[in-house]
Amino acid sequence: MKKLKVGVILILVILAATLLTLRSTGLEPEYLDLNQLRAHHMIARPGLWLKGEVVTAPVTDWSFVNEVPHPGRSINTVLVETRTPYFIPHSVRTMPFVRNGVLYIRSHQDRMDLAFPHDKSWTDNVARDPRVRIKIGDKLYEATMVLVADRAQAIALLGRNPEVRETGPDGQEHVVGYDHVFRVFQRNIPEHGGDQPSPSVAGLVPENKS
């Protein structure tokens, strides 16, 4: 029994030391190009804390996101660090896009058996706490992500139907995927009222939608 207690304590010490190290050094999500993602069933290893210089100046045009170099990478991605209920962040790599200088983050839902936002850990986290950190290049931006719940607006932003449909064995079309869109607002920026515009002001009302 004494050996078991010592073993448990040793494991906890190692785990705590590992987390403290990762908190200091950071752990970024894995990068996979499109072919690798398909080979891994569109799943890449998530990360924990993101490291980088925190930008405190207001961003009036996010178009630079499209110009950040991604050496050796075929997909332009950004990193999103979300807040979990257990105080250890969950970060992912996802694809951004910019419209009229405004930054948007896309989340592709391919598990239609689970209701959005519970199909992914990070979207579930954002629904619970929309405060995130976004890493672009080597810079970190404190932000709030707000779901674009209006379907017509999402279609206008994406330039297409967010639904992905396929013909099933029954000969009928079925929705097998859906692209959800989040708008990004900087946080802690005086020009943004110290936080972010309310969803009603932005014309966006967060809601769950499958």
Question: Is residue 208 a part of any domain in this protein?
Answer: no
Question: Is residue 207 a part of any domain in this protein?
Answer: no
For residue 99, the enclosing domain spans: 2-202
Query: Among 41-55, 141-155, 190-204, which range has the highest average pLDDT?
Result: 141-155
Question: Is residue 187 a part of any domain in this protein?
Answer: yes
pLDDT tier at 195 (50, 70, 90 boundaries)?
very low
Digit-coded pLDDT (tens) for 67-91: 877 655 656 789 999 999 988 999 9
Digit-coded pLDDT (tens) for 92-150: 988 899 999 999 999 988 888 888 999 899 999 999 999 999 999 889 999 999 999 99
Contact in structure between 187 and 196 (CB atoms under 8 Å) = yes
Looking at residue 100, what is its pLDDT? 93
Residue of 110, 195, 116, 115 whose CA lies nearest to 148: 116
Question: Is residue 210 a part of any domain in this protein?
Answer: no
Q: What is the DSSP letter of 66?
A: G
Contact in structure between 28 and 73 (CB atoms under 8 Å) = no
CB neighbour list of residue 99: distance below 8 Å, 6 or more residues apart: 157
Answer whether residue 20 shows pLDDT above 50. yes
Question: Is residue 22 a part of any domain in this protein?
Answer: yes
Percent of the chain beyond pLDDT 70?
67
Question: Is residue 146 a part of any domain in this protein?
Answer: yes
Digit-coded pLDDT (tens) for 49-73: 899 999 989 999 999 998 877 655 6
Question: Is residue 105 a part of any domain in this protein?
Answer: yes
Based on the structure, what is the number of domains in the chain?
A: 1
